[in-house]
Amino acid sequence: MNKTIYFIANWKMNGNHNSIKEIERVFIFFKKNVIYKFKKIIFCPPINLLSSFRAKIKSRLIDFGTQDISKININNGPYTGQLSGKMLKDTGANYVIIGHSEKRLIDEDFKTIKDKINVALKNKLKIIFCIGENLSQKNKGLSLKVLKKQILSSLDKNKINFNNLIIAYEPIWSIGTGVVPSNNYLYKIYGNLKKFLKEKYNVNSPVMLYGGSVTTYNVVTLREISLISGFLIGGASLKSASFIKIIKNYFK
């Protein structure tokens, strides 16, 4: 297998300055173990830690991303509390998470997500675009309808380049719950999404990830789905031991 597999650590509102130790352990492991070749490791710590972490780990083995971006499309200005795309790029981030269900609940509607995607593109930040249905939508059989709407309302056909965009499918009912969809369910979702993206955006091989309660155990089952090109990992990414083990188990 020689396609790139992504392992993205979404630290959410966790971590402090000492947490660099976790990233350093991951870095040392991969420096020693060159066998794990076709992988991309991206850490998305809280923004207050990003610059100093990036300064300590200057290596192509590990990349960094932010968990948010301002929707305001200028570099500087009178916008209290906002961080512009340029500022985020300056921290050393190359990726940004947009559309995470936890953010959608707080303050990201379709239009905001679209605006943020534009700012990210302008600043050459690659986008980790999250989509996902909630439990009641799933139970009503609406999953694909919800996902397609999330995609269509935020991805502008004329602007999006799928080389700069990763789609992370994260069923809301799976995030932080320990419940992971069956492979049958996932085959259906990813197969349909692939077809849909081809139809609407003419993309042949979109990079699609899975997120939601990924662990050292279930990664072995999830890896059977070849349309999944990696994982967005929350809880299990906070400690280097579990994060490394997820990657080891994937390639075992």
Q: To 10 degrees, what angle do helices 47-56 and 20-32 make? A: 40
Our finding on whether 218 is near ligand PGA (CB under 6 A) is no
Q: Which stretch binds ligand PGA (CB under 6 A): 55-63, 84-92, 141-149, 211-219?
A: 211-219
Among the listed residues 22, 24, 100, 199, the single catalytic one is 100
Residue 78 CB contacts under 8 Å (≥ 6 apart), including other chains: none
Identity of the residue, 82 or 242, whose beta carbon is nearer to ligand PGA in the bound complex = 242
Our finding on whether 84 is near ligand PGA (CB under 6 A) is no
State how far the Cα of 57 lies from the Cα of 92, in Å rounded to an integer: 10
State how far the Cα of 144 lies from the Cα of 146, in Å rounded to an integer: 5
Our finding on whether 175 is near ligand PGA (CB under 6 A) is yes
- Encoded amino acid at 236, one letter: A
Please give the full DSSP string across 194-228, using - where no structure is assigned.
HHHHHHHH--SS-EEEEESS--TTTHHHHTT-TT-
In angstroms, what is the minimal distance from the CB of 12 to ligand PGA? 7
Question: Per the structure block, which two tokens stand in for 51?
Answer: 């610059």
* Selected binder of ligand PGA within 37, 90, 176, 195 (CB under 6 A): 176
* Selected binder of ligand PGA within 93, 232, 244, 247 (CB under 6 A): 232
Our finding on whether 212 is near ligand PGA (CB under 6 A) is yes
State how far the Cα of 109 lies from the Cα of 47, in Å rounded to an integer: 22
17 is known as an active-site residue: no
* Selected binder of ligand PGA within 22, 63, 133, 170 (CB under 6 A): 170
- Encoded amino acid at 157, one letter: K
Helix, strand, or coil here: 44? Answer: strand
Task: Mark 3-42 with x for binding to ligand PGA (rule: CB under 6 A) and - for no binding.
Answer: -------x--------------------------------
Site residues (CB under 6 A) for ligand PGA? Answer: 10, 170, 175-176, 211-214, 232-236
